[in-house]
Amino acid sequence: SPIVHLASHLGGKPVWREDILGFVPGEAPQKRICVGGVNGVYSLADSLADGFEGGVRAASEAGFKIVEGVMPKALSRAEEPTLALFQVPHEKGTARAPKQFVDFQNDVTAAAIELATRE
pLDDT digits (tens, 9 = 90+) for 74-85: 988 888 888 887
Domain range enclosing 89: 85-119
Q: Is the pTM of this model over 0.85?
A: no
Q: How many domains does the chain have?
A: 2
Residues 63 and 29 in one domain: yes
Residues 89 and 49 in one domain: no
Average pLDDT of the chain?
Answer: 87
Residues 62 and 4 in one domain: yes
Report residue 2's pLDDT band, with 50, 70 and 90 as the boundaries: low
Domain boundary among 62, 78, 94: 78
Residues 1 and 31 in one domain: yes
pLDDT above 80: residue 19: yes
Using an 8 Å Cβ cutoff, are 2 and 39 in contact? yes
CA gap 31, 61 in Å, rounded:
10
